[in-house]
Amino acid sequence: MFSRRSLLSLLGLSILELSSLKVLSISKNSSNGMTLIKPNSLKENDIVGVVAPGTAVPSPDDLFRAKEILSKLNLRAKFSSNISKGTNYRTRSIQERLDDLMNMFLDKDVRAIFCIRGGYGSGQLLDKIDYSIIRNNPKIFVGYSDITALHIAFNKFARIVTFHGPVLLSPFSRYTFELLRNLLFGKEKQPKIQNPFETETIRSTHYIRTIKTGKAQGIVVGGNLSIICSLLGTPFEYDFNDTILVLEDVQEEPYRIDRMLNQLRLAGIFKKVNGLIFGECNDCVPSTQNVWDFSLGEVLDNYFSNLNKPSFYGLCIGHTSDQATFPIGVAAEIDAEKGTLTYLDNILD
């Protein structure tokens, strides 16, 4: 008679392997054969689910500020149950954060899901998510920074369009607010993402620097560089083939940016993409005035200028005072000289 241990040994399955079967099955069935789903656009008075997949938001003032933005969008807020429980990401369990997220997808009254902040911890949810629920209940999903992990997973395993854009505690300049509203309410079906026009300044507040001239088309993927690198070599990495890769980060010294871009290079990512955009990063500077350190511009040129693929620096995405929202998963064209990303297909139904 076989013992339980003998039976597991015979089958070649450990308890750890059993728990990973869900991820492996997802990996085999990722985006292959699945059509892309575009969520419906928003209408005034729609209910928006507000979640914090990473760090908690215990302050009632922060909840007020989030609700204020939604009110100005003429939307109604529904906060997840555990959004304010404790502080940081460690005081809520993975299951609590997962439940908050999935309940918003299951809630038939909720028309979109906005992240209130990033922080840390979203990546811990990836192998626990039932992606069939997301695919069967497609909704606008908005966030950035740590939320990049969810954008990647939703793109790959649920095949829905998501939106890399401000969290509800972002500064929300007029540019940020109006672009978000126009995209999500369907006023710009095939948007052109570009920096705000400036008429009153001599020197550009948000400048575009072309690294390699040219135009290219591809499926838009991207987000926070640190998060993208952290998921390389796992089932939860983008399919980079024939894409426009849009990257951003914050408070990373140039040598750290160099290290992450080198990781992408060694992984063969730059050979797969058709074009590259690196977002504005005003605080990506050396911590000391060491003459041996490269500047951020030198680092980007070292990696992008010899690729023979269109690339530019400076698009207002991610951790910037003016923040553009850009859809992930839809075809677009990069124009590296003009510093634009123009979508070639409708971004919403």
Instruction: Report pLDDT digits (tens) over 309-318.
Output: 999 999 999 9
Counted residue by residue, the chain has a size of 349
201 and 321, same domain (yes or no): yes
What CATH number corresponds to the domain at position 77? 3.40.50.10740
Contact assessment for residue 125 and residue 53, using Cβ atoms and an 8 Å cutoff:
yes
HSE-CB at 262 with a 13 A cutoff on CA atoms is: 7
154 and 232, same domain (yes or no): no
200 and 339, same domain (yes or no): yes
The catalytic residue positions are: 145, 248, 319
| Residue 237 within any structural domain of the chain | yes
| Residue 182 within any structural domain of the chain | no
DSSP character at residue 160: B
204 and 332, same domain (yes or no): yes
Domain stop point among 170, 200, 220: 170
Token pair listed for 308: 């023979």
199 and 133, same domain (yes or no): no
75 and 204, same domain (yes or no): no
| 9 pLDDT more than 60 | no
264 and 299, same domain (yes or no): yes
Segments forming the whole domain that contains residue 306: 192-343
222 and 330, same domain (yes or no): yes
Q: What does pTM read for this prediction?
A: 0.90
208 and 325, same domain (yes or no): yes
Query: What is the strand order of the sheet 331-335 is part of?
Result: 192-193, 340-343, 331-335, 215-224, 243-248, 275-279, 311-315, 209-212
Domain stop point among 103, 135, 170: 170
305 and 225, same domain (yes or no): yes
| Residue 299 within any structural domain of the chain | yes
71 and 117, same domain (yes or no): yes
Number of folded domains that form the chain: 2
Each residue's pLDDT tens digit, 166-220: 999 999 999 999 999 999 999 999 999 999 987 777 888 899 999 999 999 999 9
